Structure 1
Amino acid sequence: MRIRPNYVAGLAAVVWLLIIGVPLYALLNTALQPQSTYTDGGPVSLPSTVTFENFVTVVQSGFPLYLWNTFLVAVLTVAIVLILGIPISYAVVRGRGWLTRGVFRLFLLGLAIPSQAVIIPLFLVVNGLGLYDSLWGIVLPTAAFALPVSVLVLSGGMRDISVSLYEAMALDGAHPARILRELVIPLSRSSIATTCVFTALQAWNGFLFPLIMTQSDETKVVTLGLYNFVSEYEANVPALMAAVLMSAIPILVVYLFARRSLVMGLMGAGGK
């Protein structure tokens, strides 16, 4: 059969590529120009001078430390969410009692609570625990607010696993921990990948918790480190764009490796 080309879809794809590509080009173009000339030809014009001094300025400002702190926050947050979210989701899916249903409803209720509404009690709790101005003061609240969506995604993926597989392992004498380890986790890779990417993005782009829970340069993350290039009277825009580019590359790499599992998990096909 002869396949007829879909010109409308091709045109829409080109338009969408421009929508995504033009801002990225403007970001890279500005990051590679000197501060004195980056406004001469506009954000999408070809650069007259290419320099890497902006990246040197970013590195010398201590930005690699902020990247490292953000990486630690993201890794620890993802670890906590997976350690807590996978068993909770498994209990929600396999449990039949009122307690598991109540726990699931409690997590769904957490979706409706914005972090801005409880930031003062959170600050008092973190300060009372002695975690103020530490990375744990960012990790724990971020993980708490990532858990509701994570439980929702993970439980959706686990529900896609056939009940007969659960029953077959139970008949073979497998205890719940073994079923979770050998059946549920391998067949929930897509939903787990979705949870990892979502949680990592939330931790990487977090601004409110780092702003309120930290104050020293040693605990700064990238979202706060970007302010180093903006002062009261001026802004070093090329260096700022270079810092944004450096901060976006790690999470982009994570997305490239997990994009297929991420799409499958969001489509609700985590166990298929």
Structure 2
Amino acid sequence: MTPFPTIAALARRTNPLAALAALAWLVVVGLPLYYLVAVSLRTREDYLTAGPLAPPSSPTLENYATVLDSGFGRYLLNTVIVSAASVALVLLLALPAAYAIVRGTGRPLRAGFSLLLLGLAIPAQAVIVPVYLIITRLRLYDSLTGIILPTVAFLLPMAVLVLTSTLRDIPEDLYEAMAIDGGGPVRALRTLVIPLSRPGLVTVGVYVAVNAWNGFLFPLVLTQSQDRRVLTMGLWSLQGQFTSNVPALMAAMTLSVLPVFVFYVIGRRRLVGGLTAGFGK
């Protein structure tokens, strides 16, 4: 039987600086979340009379009902459409591109990969005017498609980079075994690459979903009607509508953050695995 460690042994294993850093990080992350949820469950009178960090004396869901009656459902649906379409398009384009880069040997592929990576150095703010002109010429202004296409274009370089690193972890022996069995590149992509690259696919999916969900610049410049607003634009308009109703505004922010938080918690392990894949080689 393994003896229990003594207090002295536990003290030697303990890192006080790391523990303090973890505690400080917990406070930095947890305090805003507590404030967000606690205030959203309070009435306006309770918020004005009690302290900002005081727990709600009589929790209520009235603020959430008020937000949902203010068009929040439309903003949420538009954001879900934009995020889901962006994730689907990025995965559909990035995985074959990464597969061609990893398995290909021609100079055009390497040159194309280098050119694609230049997109990481170009901020969207620097090219928003050309993007606006392209979207208007394509007659996609004030549409969800006009938001989706630029979002996919600017998230694609990072997605290809992550998937390229993931695919390099697949052993060469597996490709050779697939070739001996008569499998071509398409079959290898379908039966070998896709199953073994799931951590990278989850990483890209979470990355694209979070960025598309929180996107503000493209919806601001490329849309104008209320029916095409996403959550970021909706929160901006609700901020003016609920200027004096802070609990209702916190309820809107809680509803907008909750789906992304749940999505991240579900895929966080594969997210870390996909981000570190291939970089140890």
Answer whether contact 1:229 1:239 (CA < 8 A) is retained: no
| d(CA) in 1 for partners of 2:267, 2:70 | 32
Partner of 2:87: 78
Secondary structure of 1:22's counterpart equals helix
Q: Which residue of 1 aligns with 2:101?
A: 92
State the Cα distance separating 1:225 from its structure 2 match.
0.5
Identity among equivalent pairs (%): 50
Matches within 5 A, 1:1-272: 2=5, 4=10, 5-6=13-14, 8=16, 9-231=18-240, 234-268=243-277
- CA distance in 2 between counterparts of 1:59 and 1:40 reads 26
Task: For 2:138, give the aligned amino acid.
Answer: L
Q: So what's the TM-score if we normalise by structure 2?
A: 0.91
Q: Which amino acid aligns with 2:230?
A: V
One-letter amino acid matched to 2:130: P
State whether residues 242 and 248 of structure 2, in contact with CA within 8 Å, keep that contact through their aligned partners in structure 1.
Answer: no
Given residue 154 of structure 1, which amino acid in structure 2 is its aligned partner? Answer: L
Deviation (angstroms), 1:147: 0.2
My pick for the range that moved more, 234-243 or 61-70, is: 234-243
CA contact (8 A) 2:78 2:229 kept: yes
Q: Which of the pair is proportionally richer in helix?
A: 2
For normalisation by structure 1, the TM-score amounts to 0.94
CA distance in 2, matches of 1:202, 1:233: 26
Gaps of at least 5 residues in structure 2 are none
Tell me how many residue pairs correspond in the alignment: 272
- 1:12 to partner: Cα distance: 3.5
Per-residue CA shift, 1:48-100, capped at 9, x if unaligned?
A: 34222111110000101110110000000000001100000000101100111
Distance 1:229 1:101, change over 3 A: same
145-154 or 230-239, larger mean C-alpha shift = 230-239
Question: 1:4-39, CA deviations, whole angstroms, 9 ceiling, x for partnerless residues?
Answer: 252524443333222221111111111111223314
Please list every run of 5 or more consecutive structure 1 residues that lacks an aligned counterpart in the other structure: none
Structure 1 residue 130: deviation in Å? Answer: 1.2
- Structure 2: how far apart are the matches of 1:232 and 1:20? 28
CA RMSD, 1 decimal: 2.0
Equivalent AA in structure 1 for residue 78 of structure 2? N
Letter in 1 for 2:97: I
Deviation string 1:143-196 (CA, Å, 9 cap, x unpaired) is: 000000000000000011111211221222211010011111111110110000
Instruction: Quote how far apart the aligned CAs of 1:140 are.
Output: 0.4
**How has the CA–CA distance of structure 1 residues 175 and 235 changed in structure 2, closer, same or farther, with 3 Å as cutoff?**
farther
Whether the 8 Å contact between 2:43 and 2:247 is mirrored in structure 1 is: yes
Distance in structure 2 (CA, Å) of the matches to 1:190 and 1:233 = 41
Query: Conserved in 2, the CA contact under 8 Å of 1:230 and 1:236?
Result: no
